[in-house]
Structure 1
Amino acid sequence: MQLSRKHVALGILWGMALLTLAWFGWARLIGPLFEQSVADTIGPGDYRLETTDGGTFTQASLKGGPTAVFFGFTHCPEVCPTTLGDIATWQEELGPDNPLKVYFVTVDPERDSIETLGDYTSWVPGVTGVSGSREEIDKALSAFRVYSRKVPLQDGDYTMDHSANVLLFDRKGRFFEPIGYQEDFTRVIDKLRRLEAS
């Protein structure tokens, strides 16, 4: 039995209606729940680390103001000094009343003492270095979903491979958005202004 054009058209219309309903369900119900669950899982944890200003870095450190967290190490040849330079430029653009707190967390606590980190980060306004035991650093890496791996060098030394994103958190300590390595300056400032207003 051949289907009439009317039946085919009705079938297509029903199919489009179901697709629209599925998209609406995702956009309004499932999608936000997924985003919420991911955002709520980045940052929380039981890590407790030392900071270069004499304090401690815990989950509570993410609250109370817009916050940026970057994982790196002082022997980093390119990504870390470049990112610190970018952060200094962002801070300058945002001005002296900018409330952004920035934490530079080492992925190499064996070489990066608090004193070493203090010297390394001191030239960038508003950046606090963070270090601690290998165990506590590993807890933080897991909490922030940051990749880090020791890479042996031919001379017997080693370097660290690691995630290069700067992670942004809102005043409630909830993950907001990442900033990619060397992301466009205008886009970054837009993100930071939206973060400050959130």
Structure 2
Amino acid sequence: MTEPKSVRSGRRAALRYLAFPLVAGLLAACSRKPVFKGTDISGSSLTMTVALTDDTGRRRTLADFRGKVVAVFLGYTRCPDVCPTTMGELKLAMQQLGQQADLVQVLFVTVDPEHDTLPVLARWVTGFDPRFLGLRGTQEELKALASQLKVYYGRTGKTGDDIMHNGNVFLFDRHGAIRVLEEMGANSTTLAADIRELLKED
């Protein structure tokens, strides 16, 4: 028995009505804008193209970690407060991420290459998490990196043992683009939340 034309038209209208929320939801998902707890610096000119030496002796660039979210922190192993505290928060963030932590690479760049030899770096960074990598460069390479990230560092005091440095953590997405600036003092909950946001992206 053939359905009346009015019934067929009503059914098509109902299907269109039901399909609309699904299509709208898919479009919203595709255009979803991440919400970060740190400062969103997507599209910034800040970058990191300088090659540095990791604590195993291998030359590294940011491109080596494509496919992972990368957290970059500049400091030095003898730092009495900010550096161990920040590295501790990054360690806790990795724990909070669970299995997703395997898609994250934490890079600690020393601004004290005279003291922070590769063995010193290796012992220090792996003491927080065996997946962390320490990076070391020449003074020229460090100056180039500091210029690219717009950060500062320099020795203070008569003995030169103390080094003033920027305490921010920079988050790069899995394509190597800088996305988030975490202010000095950012805790593990903030770090983990922003890393999760980046991991949601393709």
TM-score, scaled to structure 1: 0.73
Structure 2 unaligned residues grouped into runs of 5+:
1-40
Distance 1:36 1:185, change over 3 A: closer
Indicate how the Cα distance of structure 1 residues 150 and 168 shifts in structure 2: closer, same or farther if over 3 A, else same: same
* AA of the residue aligned to 2:183: G
AA aligned opposite 1:163: N
Q: 1:132 to 1:184 in 2, by over 3 A?
A: closer
Q: Once the 2 structures are TM-superposed, how far is the Cα of residue 184 of structure 1 from its aligned partner?
A: 4.4
SS at match of 2:87: helix
Amino acid in the other structure paired with 1:139 = A
Partner residue of 1:111 out of 106, 115, 119:
115
Amino acid at match of 1:101: Q
Q: Relative contact order: is structure 1 or structure 2 higher (C-alpha 8 Å, sep ≥ 6)?
A: 2
CA contact (8 A) 1:60 1:173 kept: yes
Instruction: Give the one of 117, 123, 133 matched to 1:128.
Output: 133
> Is 1:42 aligned to 2:46, yes or no?
yes
In the alignment, the residues of structure 1 paired with residue 188 and residue 100 of structure 2 have an alpha-carbon distance, to the nearest angstrom, of 19
1:103 CA drift (Å): 0.3
Q: Is 2:89 the counterpart of 1:86?
A: yes
Query: Matched residues, percent identical?
Result: 30
RMSD, aligned CA: 1.8
1:186 to 1:49, Cα distance in 2 relative to 1, 3 A:
closer
Q: Could you report, residue by residue, the CA deviation over 1:43-77 in whole angstroms, capped at 9, with x for unpaired residues? A: 243x2211013322224235321100000001101
Partner of 1:101: 105
Indicate yes or no: 2:173 matched with 1:152: no
Contact 2:73 2:108 in 1 (8 A): yes
Q: Which residue identity does 1:178 align to in structure 2?
A: L
Count of matched residue pairs: 159
Label 1:185 to 1:51 Cα distance change in 2 as closer, same or farther (>3 A).
closer
The code of the aligned residue for 1:132 comes to: G
Cα distance change, pair 88–186 in 1 and its aligned pair in 2 (3 A): closer
> How has the CA–CA distance of structure 1 residues 44 and 122 changed in structure 2, closer, same or farther, with 3 Å as cutoff?
closer
2-structure distance, mates of 1:57, 1:144: 17
Task: Give the match's secondary structure for 1:81.
Answer: helix
* Residue type of the alignment partner of 1:102: V
CA distance in 2, matches of 1:44, 1:132: 13
* Residues 132-184 of structure 1 deviation map (CA, whole Å, 9 limit, x = unaligned): 2111121111122221111123xx34211111011000011000101222224
The answer to whether the 8 Å contact 2:72/2:109 transfers is yes
